[in-house]
C-alpha cells in the first residue's frame, strides 16, 4: 500500500506538504501560490483530481497565503480547520471556501478516503494552532511545526510516528546574535514560538529511547536568517552522540529544503 510524503515548501516564506495514499491526496497548509502547488503535484506524479482535503495548522500568512488561489483550482477539495483558526482567516480567503469548510474540534479525528487524521494542539502564538497525525494501514506520519515546546501530552501524540516532520527552526546563537529586533527574538525563543535545533534534538533523543522502532525524522521549517540545513543536522547528530545515541539503523535523519520541492518519501 502506497503512503508518501513530499514537502513543496517549508519555512517562513511558505509551507505546504503533500501526503498521499494510493487513492487520495491531502495537503497540509497552503502558504505558497497555486502555481507552485500544481508544480509540486506534477513533479510527484499526483493527479490534482485526487486532492480531497487541505488541512490548516493555523492562520499565519506563511501557511494560508495561497488558500484562495488553490481553492479556485481544486474542484471539490474540502478545507479542514478548527473554528478559531477559521475565524482568524480574512473574509476574502474564506469566501472562496463557501460550502467546503469542515470544522473539527482539536483533539478529535476524521477520515479522508483511506487516511485517518488525528488533530492535536501545539504551542504557538496563533488562535488555535494544531499538528496532525495521519495513518494509512499500519503506517503513521506526524507533522509538528510552529510550536515553542513539546510537552508530555504532545510527545505522546508523535511517539508512534514512522515518519516525523519536526520543526528545527533556528540555531539559538545565530538568533541571539543576529539582526532580528529583540521583541522578535523573544517571540521565537518563547514557549509559543519555534523549536530550536537543540530542542528538536532532545525530542529525537526521547523518541530513540521510547522503544525500538525504525523512524525517519525530517527537520522542517528552518529559518532563512537563523539556521542552515547543515547546522540543524550537525546539532542534532552532536547531541545524540553526546548521549551515546546516533543516526543509524533505527533513525534516518534529513532536513527539508526551505523554498523548493523536496524529495518524495515513502512512509
Cell of 185: 527574538
Give the Cα separation of 81 and 83 in Å (integer): 6
- Give me the residue label for grid cell 500568512: 61
**What's the rounded Cα separation, in Å, for the pair 64 and 12?**
12
For residue 179, the model assigns a pLDDT of: 93
Percent pLDDT > 90 in the chain is 86
Q: Is the pLDDT of residue 166 over 80?
A: yes
pLDDT digits (tens, 9 = 90+) for 55-109: 999 999 999 999 988 988 887 899 999 999 999 997 777 777 888 999 999 999 9
pLDDT at site 24: 97
| Residue 161: pLDDT over 90 | yes
Query: pLDDT band at residue 207, thresholds of 50, 70 and 90?
Result: very high
Rg of the chain over CA atoms, in angstroms? 17
pLDDT of residue 123: 97
Please report the domains of the chain, with CATH numbers, ordered by start residue.
Answer: 3-266 (3.60.15.10)
The average confidence (pLDDT) of the chain is: 94
Alpha-carbon gap, residue 146 to 228, rounded angstroms? 17
Query: d(Cα 92, Cα 97) in Å, to the nearest integer?
Result: 10
pLDDT at 243: 85
pLDDT higher than threshold 80 for residue 211: no
pTM: 0.95
- Of 12-16, 106-110, 207-211, least confident by mean pLDDT is 207-211
Please provide residue 259's backbone torsions phi and psi, each rounded to the nearest 5 degrees. -115, 25
DSSP codes of every residue in the chain: --EEEEEEE-STT--EEEEEESS-EEEE---S-HHHHHHHHHHTT--GGGEEEEE-----HHHHTTHHHHHHHSTT-EEEE-HHHHHTS-HHHHHTTTTTEEE--TT-EEEETTEEEEEEE---SSSS-EEEEEEETTEEEEEE-S-S---HHHHHHHTT-SEEEEE--B-HHHHHTSSS-HHHHHHHHSTTS--BHHHHHHHHHHHHHT-S--EEEEEE---TTT--HHHHHHHHHHHHHHTT--SBTTEEEEE--SSS---EEE-
pLDDT of amino acid 58: 97
The neighbour count for residue 82, using CB atoms within 10 Å, is 21
Mean pLDDT value of segment 34-40: 94
pLDDT score of 246 more than 90: no
Whole-number Å distance between alpha carbons of 229 and 149: 21
* CA nearest to 208, candidates 173, 181, 247: 247
Amino acid at each position: 500500500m502506497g503512503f508518501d510524503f513530499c514537502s513543496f515548501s517549508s519555512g517562513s516564506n511558505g509551507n505546504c506538504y503533500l501526503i498521499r495514499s494510493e487513492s487520495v491526496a491531502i495537503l497540509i497548509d497552503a502558504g505558497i501560490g497555486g502555481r507552485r502547488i500544481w508544480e509540486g503535484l506534477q513533479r510527484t506524479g499526483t493527479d490534482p483530481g485526487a486532492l480531497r482535503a487541505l488541512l490548516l495548522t493555523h492562520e499565519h500568512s506563511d501557511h494560508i497565503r495561497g488558500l484562495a488561489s488553490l481553492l479556485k483550482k481544486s474542484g471539490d477539495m474540502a478545507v479542514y480547520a478548527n473554528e478559531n483558526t477559521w475565524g482568524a482567516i480574512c473574509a476574502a480567503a474564506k469566501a472562496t471556501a463557501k460550502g467546503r469548510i469542515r470544522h473539527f474540534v482539536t483533539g478529535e479525528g476524521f477520515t479522508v478516503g483511506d487516511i485517518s487524521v488525528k488533530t492535536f494542539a501545539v504551542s504557538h502564538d496563533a488562535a488555535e494552532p494544531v499538528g496532525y497525525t495521519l495513518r494509512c494501514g499500519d503506517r503513521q506520519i506526524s507533522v509538528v511545526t510552529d510550536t515553542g515546546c513539546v510537552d508530555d501530552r504532545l510527545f505522546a501524540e508523535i511517539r508512534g510516528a514512522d515518519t516525523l516532520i519536526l520543526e528545527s527552526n533556528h540555531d539559538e546563537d545565530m538568533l541571539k546574535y543576529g539582526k532580528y529586533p529583540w521583541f522578535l527574538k523573544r517571540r521565537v525563543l518563547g514557549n509559543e514560538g519555534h523549536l530550536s535545533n537543540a530542542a528538536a534534538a532532545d525530542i529525537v533523543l526521547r523518541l530513540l529511547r521510547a522503544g525500538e522502532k525504525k523512524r525517519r525524522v525530517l527537520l522542517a521549517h528552518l529559518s532563512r536568517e537563523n539556521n542552515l540545513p547543515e547546522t540543524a543536522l550537525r546539532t542534532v547528530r552532536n547531541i545524540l552522540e553526546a548521549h551515546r545515541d546516533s543516526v543509524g539503523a533505527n533513525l534516518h535523519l534529513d532536513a527539508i529544503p526551505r523554498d523548493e520541492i523536496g524529495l518524495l518519501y515513502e512512509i
